[in-house]
Amino acid sequence: MEKIVRPSSMERINNFELANKFIDEQVDLIRKQVGDKKVLLALSGGVDSSVVAALLIKAIGKQLVCVHVNHGLMRKGESEQVIEVFGEALDANLIYVDATDRFLDLLKDVSEPEKKRKIIGNEFIKVFDEESAKLDGISFLAQGTIYPDILESDGVKAHHNVGGLPEEMEMSLVEPLALLYKDEVRVVGEALGLPHAMVYRQPFPGPGLGVRCLGAITRDRLHALREADAILREEFANCGLAEKVWQYFIAVPDFKSVGVRDSKRYEGWPAIIRAVNTTDAMTATIEEIPYAVLHKITDRITSEVEGINRVLLDLTPKPVGTIEWE
C-alpha cells in the first residue's frame, strides 16, 4: 500500500492565512482528481467528516453526496445540527437516514460491550451500503482520514477508515485532510465557515451513546442519558470548561438506587460524570470541576431528567481506568 508521509517542510496550519492557502490548494487538487464525477461521504457530524464535507462542497458542490445515518445513539441536537449546517446553510446534496428503530431493535437485550460495538458498526456499514447502492455514478469515496490515523496504522494508509466498507464498492479514495493534525483541521474548518461548536466538537465514539448507556440499552434510559449529557455540556459551556476539558460526558449504568422525590420513595439511575484531559488518549488526567458547578449540574439533572436520582463523579485517571466505560 501507498505510504503517506507529511513533508518536514510543511508549515503547521495555525492561522487563517495558512488555512486559506491549504484550502485553495486542496480545492484545485480535488477538482483535478474528481473531474465531473460524483463523490460519496459518510457524514457523521464529527470534526473530520464535517471539514471534509465543507471542503468538498467548496470544490465540487452538488457532485458531493453526503449520507448522514442517525443510529439513534447521537447526542442531543447533533443530527439536527448536521441537517441545519449542511442541508440548509451549505445547501449540500444530503441524504438523511433515521435508522433509530433499526439499530435499537438489534441492540435490545444485548449487554456485552464488544457485541454492542460490533452490532452498531456492522449495521452502520449495511445502512451506508444500502444508500450507496441507490445512487448512480459514484466514483469516489471521501474520508476524514487525518495524519494521526496514518501514524497509528504504522504509516500505511488504512483502506476504508469509515469502518470497513465493502471492497466491492470499488471507489477511489478522496482524503484531503490526510496530512493534517487535529488542531490544523479545526483551523481549516473555521476558515471554511463551519460553526465554532461543530469544529471544536469533543471526541465522540463511533457507537455513540451506545457505550455510555451501560449494559443492555433501553429507550427510556437512553433518553435520560441524552438529556443528562446535554445538561452537562450546557453547564460546561456556561462556566468556561467546554474548551478547557478534552472530553466530558455522562454514563448511565443499568441499575437503580432508592431516592426521594415529592416526599415519596423514588427509584432511579445514577448519572456518572466523566471529565478528562489528554494529549494522545493513551493516558488521561482528571479535570478538577468546581463544587459550585457540580452542585448546579446535580440539581439540574436530578430535577429535570426523568429517571435519574443521583449524580456521581468519576475520579479515575487513565491508567487505570479507560476514558470510556465500555
Each residue's pLDDT tens digit, 92-134: 999 999 999 999 999 999 999 999 999 999 999 999 999 999 9
CA dihedral 252, 323, 104, 98 (to 10 degrees): 120
Euclidean distance between CA atoms 98 and 78, whole angstroms = 13
The arithmetic mean of pLDDT across residues 32-48, rounded, is: 95
SS3 state of residue 21: helix
CATH of 212-313, one of 3.90.230.10, 3.30.300.10, 3.30.200.20, 3.30.450.20: 3.30.300.10
Band (pLDDT 50/70/90 cuts) for residue 17 is very high
Strand order in the sheet with 93-98: 93-98, 64-70, 38-42, 138-142, 172-174
Residues of the chain with pLDDT > 70, as a percent, come to 93
Euclidean distance between CA atoms 292 and 139, whole angstroms = 54
Residue type, 72: G
Are residues 248 and 212 in contact, defined by beta-carbon separation less than 8 angstroms? no
**Domain-wise residue ranges, the chain:** 16-199, 212-313
User: pLDDT tens-digit profile of 186-217?
Assistant: 999 999 999 998 999 888 888 999 999 999 99
Backbone phi and psi for residue 9, each to the nearest 5 degrees, phi listed first: -85, -5
User: pLDDT tens-digit profile of 150-189?
Assistant: 887 654 433 344 444 455 556 899 999 999 999 999 999 9
Euclidean distance between CA atoms 253 and 214, whole angstroms = 5
Q: Which three cell numbers stand for residue 27?
A: 480545492
Residue 47: alpha-carbon gap to chain centroid: 7
DSSP result, 192-258: TT--HHHHTPPP--TTGGGGTB-SS--HHHHHHHHHHHHHHHHHHHHHT-TTTSSEEEEEB-S--EE
Q: Report how many helices (DSSP H) and strands (DSSP E) the chain contains, helices first.
A: 10, 10
The arithmetic mean of pLDDT across residues 132-157, rounded, is: 81
SS3 readout for 160-178:
CCCCCCCHHHCCEEECCCC
Angle between helices 219-239 and 291-304 (to 10 degrees): 150
pLDDT exceeds 60 at position 8: yes
Superfamily name with CATH number, domain 16-199: HUPs (3.40.50.620)
Residue 33 burial class via C-beta count within 10 angstroms: exposed 0-12, middle 13-18, buried 19 and up:
middle
